[in-house]
């Protein structure tokens, strides 16, 4: 049984299909790159797998569970555009807050280790409001990683990151994948960027999978 199974999935917005009869089977423990130009449907496909949208027709399953209509994958770390954070809390306090509602909680020490991995000062008392875009992106990435979910989906994770930080991100993805067998779906409009860390590439065009 495929870990992720999308069958004849169609989602329309204002009568136009943004996901057009998608069929996709993904295996557990692999790293998938989701590529395609702006507006090709990458974020919509991620929303479909995450349960943030419900199809007009067709189905999406993650680990045998049908996703949509208020049903979400059981163990998912998700980075999606414009993540809301507590603007008047520090990076550590933001992550601590999210950690407190996770079923797989980690220690304060581990949260600080995550910040240091991405070269953020774990004792920084400044509020997130004062963080640069790249620094916020790192905190958003950490919240997707830290509770060791079975599936991690990252939508344009390299946005606002410098070259060095992108390398840290890729090294961390590889490490998590090898250590825990975590499945990754990583969307990017920049093919060159994610091609070399992925096992397989899924290309989208106009709401369809083209290869
Ligand atoms: N909230 C929305 N309302 C209407 N159309 C949308 C909305 N979000 C995305 N779309 C449309 O869905 C299509 C796919 O968008 P998206 O999945 O965000 O593309 P990508 O992530 O590949 O850049 C685009 O044509 C876009 O205009
Ligand atoms: Mg997108």
CATH architecture of residue range(s) 4-204: 3-Layer(aba) Sandwich (3.40)
Look at ligand 1, atom 18, and give the residue with the nearest C-alpha. Answer: 43
Q: Which residues lie near ion ligand 2 (Cβ < 5 Å)?
A: 42-43
Higher pLDDT, 201 or 189: 201
Give the pLDDT score at 211: 82
Q: Ligand 1: which of 18, 49, 204 to mutate, most ligand atoms within 8 Å of CB?
A: 18
Q: Which of 176, 117, 187, 120 minimizes the C-alpha distance to 147?
A: 176
Supply the pLDDT for residue 92.
98
pLDDT of residue 21: 97
**Ligand 1 first shell, C-beta below 6 A:** 13, 18, 36, 38-44
Q: Give the model's pLDDT for residue 130.
A: 96
Which range has the worst mean pLDDT, 31-35, 73-77, 80-84?
80-84
Tell me the pLDDT tens digit for each residue of 27-43. 999 999 999 999 999 99
Q: Which residue's CA is the closest to the ligand 1 atom numbered 17?
A: 41
C-alpha of residue 93 to centroid of ligand 1, in Å:
32
pLDDT at 191: 74
The residue assigned the tokens 């295996």 is 27
CA 90–ligand 1 middle distance (angstroms): 32
| Smallest-distance ligand from the CA of 20 | 1
Confidence at residue 160, expressed as pLDDT on a 0 to 100 scale:
94
Confidence at residue 189, expressed as pLDDT on a 0 to 100 scale: 87
So what's the pLDDT on residue 63? 98
Q: How far is the CA of 78 from the centre of ligand 2 (A)?
A: 13
> What pLDDT score was predicted for residue 31?
98
> What percent of the chain clears pLDDT 90, i.e. is strictly above it?
93
Dist CA 152 CA 123 (whole Å)? 27
| Distance of alpha carbon 209 from alpha carbon 201, whole angstroms | 11
The ligand minimizing its distance to the Cα of 37 is 1
- Ligand 1 atom nearest to CA at 41: 17
Instruction: Return the domain boundaries, the chain.
Output: 4-204
pLDDT at 192 over 90: no
pLDDT of residue 82: 79
Ligand (nearest to CA of 40): 1
**How many whole angstroms from 191 Cα to the centroid of ligand 1?**
19
The per-residue pLDDT for range 119-173, each reduced to its tens digit, is 999 999 999 999 999 999 999 999 999 999 999 999 999 999 999 999 999 999 9
- Lowest-pLDDT choice from 70-84, 86-100, 180-194: 180-194
How far apart are the CA of 38 and the centre of ligand 2, in A? 7
């Amino acid at each position: 049984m495929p870990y992720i199974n999308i069958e004849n999935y169609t989602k329309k917005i204002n009568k136009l299909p943004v996901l057009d009869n998608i069929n996709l089977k993904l295996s557990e423990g692999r790293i998938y790159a989701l590529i395609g130009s702006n507006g090709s449907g990458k974020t919509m496909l991620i929303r479909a797998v995450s349960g943030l949208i419900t199809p007009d027709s067709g189905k999406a399953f993650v680990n045998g569970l049908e996703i949509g209509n208020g049903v979400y994958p059981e163990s998912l770390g998700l980075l999606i555009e414009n993540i809301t954070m507590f603007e008047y809390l520090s990076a550590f306090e933001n992550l601590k807050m999210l950690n407190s509602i996770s079923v797989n909680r980690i220690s304060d020490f581990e949260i600080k280790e995550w910040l240091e991995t991405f070269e953020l000062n774990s004792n920084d008392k400044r509020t997130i409001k004062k963080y640069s875009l790249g620094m916020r992106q790192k905190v958003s990435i950490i919240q997707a990683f830290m509770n060791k979910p079975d599936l991690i989906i990252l939508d344009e994770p390299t946005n606002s990151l410098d070259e060095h930080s992108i390398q840290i991100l890729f090294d961390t993805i590889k490490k998590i994948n090898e250590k825990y067998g975590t499945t990754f779906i990583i969307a990017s409009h920049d093919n060159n960027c994610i091609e070399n860390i992925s096992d397989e590439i899924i290309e989208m065009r106009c709401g369809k999978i083209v290869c």
